[in-house]
Copies of this chain bind each other. A is one copy, B any other.
Amino acid sequence: MLTCNKERLQDKITTFSKFGDTGKGGITRLSLSPAALEAREEFCKRCKALGMEIKTDDMANIYATIPGEEKLPAIMMGSHADSVKQGGNYDGILGVLTGLEVAETIVTEKIAHKHPITVVIWTNEEGARFEPAMMSSGVITGKFDKDVMLASKDTEGVTFKEALEASGYMGKIENRMNPEKYRALVELHVEQGPVLEDEKIDIGVVEGVCGMINYEFTFTGQADHAGTTPMKYRKDALYAAVKTIQYLHDELDKLDSKLVYTTGKISAHPNIHTVIPDYVKFTLDARHQDPEVINQVLEIIKAIPKVVEKCEASYEKAWSRNTVHFYSEFVDYVEKNAKEFGYSTKRMYSGPGHDAQFITDIIPTTMIFVPSEKGHSHCEKEFTPLENCLKGANVLLKTILDIDNN
């Protein structure tokens, strides 16, 4: 069975790990930074060498295309090439490099295909330099207002617009991905969680992206002196928060075991060891693919009393996102192809967001996950063994060709 080339894929990963190399096993390759532009340049150079035609759109998304035998919309692969600060060599870029390897295999093996085949780099997926994340896929799918995005500033005060214009990659708005020109997107990505590795699974068959809610809770008590206020007089906002976090754990643990929820952020005021806290805030992030389970989470939140341990309790939604379901035919292709290669598979929903979740609103889309060692991501320890990267590339190759044939 036709496969990608392990040595070539290794070379790609090694080469691109130089762009933004932190010297500690990872990279800092913020969107449109010099390191990111180096990576783009190397990508374009390699695509041109394969005879691909390169276009960029007004958000500097890069589309590198092998012509097809027929006049049909293109089939896309790819992901993003930017990283968070002190990130790793796999998140995003592996989707680009496996796409490039699939293109190289198709070109060098002279594999017949009717549709044009495109490798895409989406600009500023991480949102680590310019907020928000998934900015450019968001703009071209109508999720974000372009003018607002152009005004987004990095910590030095540089706007996204300025960085875009200086990059040399800003192209025409007509070059944007749209359903007339593109037939499909398959985005390969690292799982960013421990499940595939732990369960010894080769390929995550991604059915969609989990719906999520993010709430902020506030408890208002009374600041008093730790040494003078008998316990019975206290309105301790931290204790009220503690009681509520315990309640949330107790109740949320009764729901479906695939639910993940996190109290990641907490702050107390005035946060002095000798003062009873008067204000405490914490966040709850909860994710599940089934909207009914998210509704159950909301019911549990709504059942929090207005007064907890004599403190006023309130909460508000910071944001939410509905569950995204990928194109089921493509999901089935991924599963079938992995099995044909003899790889183990698991159907799963992505917890984190990806460009694919916006693109799927416009054209049929799916994703392929490969394991993340120990679940690490967004850090220098982020790692996926070459063998797993290759398996992902092989499934990607076969899936692109299946889409081409159907």
A212 at the interface (CB under 8 A from B): yes
From B195, B226, B231, B287, give the contact of A264 (CB < 8 A): B226
Q: List, sorted by A's number, 21 A–B pairs whose CB atoms are closer than 8 Å.
A: A193-B224, A193-B225, A193-B227, A193-B228, A194-B224, A198-B233, A225-B352, A226-B261, A226-B262, A227-B287, A228-B372, A230-B257, A230-B258, A231-B260, A232-B257, A236-B262, A236-B263, A262-B276, A264-B271, A266-B266, A273-B285
Q: How distant is the Cα of A375 from the Cα of B229 in the complex, in angstroms?
A: 8
| Minimal beta-carbon separation of A286 from chain B (angstroms) | 9
Residues of A within 8 A of B (CB): 191-195, 198, 210, 212, 214, 224-233, 236, 238-239, 242-243, 245-246, 249, 253, 257-268, 271-277, 283, 285, 287, 318, 350-352, 372, 375, 377-378
Are B276 and A264 in touch, CB under 8 angstroms?
A: yes
Return the 4 tightest CB-CB contacts between A and B, nearest first: A227-B351, A193-B228, A226-B262, A273-B283
Determine the chain B residues whose CB is within 8 A of the CB of A257 once the complex forms: 230-232
Q: How distant is the Cα of A210 from the Cα of B226 in the complex, in angstroms?
A: 12
Are A277 and B260 in touch, CB under 8 angstroms?
A: no
Copies in the complex: 2
Determine the chain B residues whose CB is within 8 A of the CB of A259 once the complex forms: 231
Q: How distant is the Cα of A246 from the Cα of B247 in the complex, in angstroms?
A: 12
From B193, B243, B274, B351, give the contact of A262 (CB < 8 A): B274
Which of A195, A260, A285 has its CB near the most chain B CB atoms (within 10 A)? A260
Determine the chain B residues whose CB is within 8 A of the CB of A245 once the complex forms: 238-239, 242
| Minimal beta-carbon separation of A349 from chain B (angstroms) | 10
| Minimal beta-carbon separation of A197 from chain B (angstroms) | 10
Q: How distant is the Cα of A198 from the Cα of B245 in the complex, in angstroms?
A: 32
Are A377 and B268 in touch, CB under 8 angstroms?
A: no
Which of A191, A239, A266, A375 has its CB near the most chain B CB atoms (within 10 A)? A266
Are A273 and B268 in touch, CB under 8 angstroms?
A: no
Determine the chain B residues whose CB is within 8 A of the CB of A191 once the complex forms: 228
